[in-house]
């Protein structure tokens, strides 16, 4: 969007593209943004082995005591910081650093993975993002082990990697649709953990998000995709087949979370019936991850004063 000129006679109303500054958010927020997290998202959502996934309410808002508008206000207030933190990561990569962040998004159709990419990842500079969606393996991908395409998509130093679906499908769709014998896919749990430990050891901070939408909300979202011509491209007739296997997927997700949530690559189970909550939660998880890298701006590798003098002389 082009820079909007200062609107005449509307001093209090910020132009739309300025709405995401902390100042603007503060001005429109009824209460202090941030005060509605009763428990930090990292704690409220982190998967604890053995939790009963069927007891998770997809309409709930763990850790958050505010309303939708409070959540949206906080998200807007977080935007400048998220962009700043991601730029530090990018600068770090450009100056020889080895850190990166990988956001893994898992969830059934309509759980809002795409919306998280658009609304949360969309708050940072796209040049620093390596996004990859994983679908049914192509003929070329099938010639290799299932981790091949994943390794090729890992974020380089300085980048924020985003996986829309991931290597974890190897114990989800592969299990539910019986694409491999039980003995084969069962082995993957250990491989997935070993792989992620290796990725983490190379400098990548892994944040895994599993989004959970209720059967009713999923039905409503699929109905909307069918009703609206601008959403037909998102619909796939096989979405109904997946829907018919929800209990199997729930069991597969339960075991996935129990067996692959590790200290170096924890899972966060995010209720996703309220899109605003899921987006806010991932904003917090991503912000916390980036902040934990504690990256400062890289120092200049040139003499700043000398360069100022040279510039002044031109
Ligand atoms: P979408 O995310 O809507 O573009 O759909 C991607 C499709 O690819 C989903 O139906 C997934 O179940 C499927 N998919 C992703 N990974 C795999 C995999 N490793 N094996 C088989 N199907 C997969
Ligand atoms: Mg789909």
The string of pLDDT tens digits covering residues 162-171 is 999 999 999 9
Average pLDDT estimate for 58-83: 96
Confidence at 131, pLDDT banded by 50, 70, 90: very high
User: Encoding tokens for residue 133?
Assistant: 């969606």
* Ligand 1 atom having least distance to the Cα of 166: 16
pLDDT of residue 34: 63
CA of 3 to the centre of ligand 2 (A): 35
Cross-strand bridge partners of residue 105: 164, 209
Instruction: Ligand 1, residue 239: give the atom nearest the CA.
Output: 10
Q: Which protein residues are within 6 Å of ligand 1, measured from CB? A: 109, 133-137, 165, 169-170, 173-174, 179
77-111: burial string, b at 16+ Cβ within 10 Å, e else:
bbbbebeebbbbbbbbbeeebebbbbbbbbbbbbb
CA of 113 to the centre of ligand 2 (A): 10
Distance 98 CA to ligand 1 centre (A): 31
Report the C-alpha gap between 63 and 65 in whole angstroms.
7
User: Which of 165, 238, 252 to probe ligand 1 with, by most ligand atoms within 8 A of CB?
Assistant: 165
Q: Does 19 score more than 60 pLDDT?
A: no
Percent of the chain with pLDDT over 70: 89
pLDDT in tens, 246-299: 999 999 999 999 999 999 999 999 999 999 999 999 999 999 999 999 999 999
Nearest CA to ligand 1 atom 7: 135
Per-residue CA distances from 211 to 58, 173, 228, 283, 289 (Å): 9, 15, 24, 14, 18
Q: Does pTM surpass 0.85?
A: yes
- Give the count of beta carbons closer than 10 Å to the beta carbon of residue 16: 10
Pocket perturbation via mutation, ligand 1, pick of 173, 240, 243, 244 by most ligand atoms within 8 A of CB: 173
Provide the 3-class DSSP secondary structure of residue 70.
helix
pLDDT at 35: 75
User: Percent of the chain scored above 90 by pLDDT?
Assistant: 89
Taking residues 42-67, report their average pLDDT: 97
Q: What is the chain's mean pLDDT, rounded?
A: 91
pLDDT tens, 133-152?
999 999 999 999 999 999 99
Ligand nearest to the CA of 176: 1
Select the more confidently predicted residue: 11 or 95.
Answer: 95
Which long-range contacts does 259-263 make (Cβ < 8 Å, 24+ apart)? Answer: 259/189, 259/193, 260/168, 260/171, 260/189, 260/192, 260/193, 260/196, 260/208, 261/46, 261/47, 261/49, 261/208, 262/193, 262/196, 262/197
Write the pLDDT tens digit of every residue in 190-214.
Answer: 999 999 999 999 999 999 999 999 9
Give the residues across from 255 on adjacent strands: none
Q: Are 273 and 214 in contact (CB under 8 A)?
A: yes
How far is Cα 292 from Cα 223, in angstroms, rounded to an integer? 41
């Amino acid at each position: 969007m082009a820079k909007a000129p200062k609107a005449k006679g509307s001093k209090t109303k910020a132009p739309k593209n300025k709405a995401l500054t902390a100042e603007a958010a503060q001005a429109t927020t009824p209460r202090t943004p941030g005060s509605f997290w009763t428990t930090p998202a990292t704690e409220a959502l982190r998967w604890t082995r053995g939790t009963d996934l069927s007891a998770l309410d997809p309409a709930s808002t763990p850790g958050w005591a505010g309303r939708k508008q409070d959540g949206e206000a906080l998200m807007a207030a977080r935007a400048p910081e998220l962009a700043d933190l991601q730029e530090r990561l990018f600068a770090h990569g450009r100056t020889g650093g080895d850190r990166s962040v990988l956001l893994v998004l898992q969830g059934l159709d309509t759980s809002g993975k795409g919306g998280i990419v658009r609304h949360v990842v969309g708050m940072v500079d796209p040049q620093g993002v390596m996004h990859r969606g994983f679908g049914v393996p192509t003929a070329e991908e099938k010639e290799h082990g299932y981790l091949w395409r994943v390794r090729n998509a890992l974020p380089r130093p300085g980048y924020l990697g985003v996986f829309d679906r991931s290597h974890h499908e190897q114990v989800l769709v592969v299990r539910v649709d019986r694409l491999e014998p039980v003995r084969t896919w069962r082995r993957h749990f250990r491989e997935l953990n070993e792989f992620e430990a290796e990725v983490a050891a190379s400098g990548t901070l892994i944040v895994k998000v599993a989004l959970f939408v209720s059967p009713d909300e999923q039905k409503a979202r699929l109905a909307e995709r069918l009703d609206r011509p601008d959403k037909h491209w998102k619909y796939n007739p096989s979405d109904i087949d997946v829907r018919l296997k929800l209990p199997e997927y729930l069991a597969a997700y339960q075991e996935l979370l129990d067996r692959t949530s590790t200290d170096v690559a924890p899972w966060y189970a995010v209720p996703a019936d309220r899109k605003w909550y899921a987006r806010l939660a991932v904003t917090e998880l991503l912000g916390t991850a980036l902040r934990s890298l504690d990256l400062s701006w890289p120092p200049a590798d040139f003499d700043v004063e000398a360069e100022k003098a040279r510039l002044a002389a031109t």
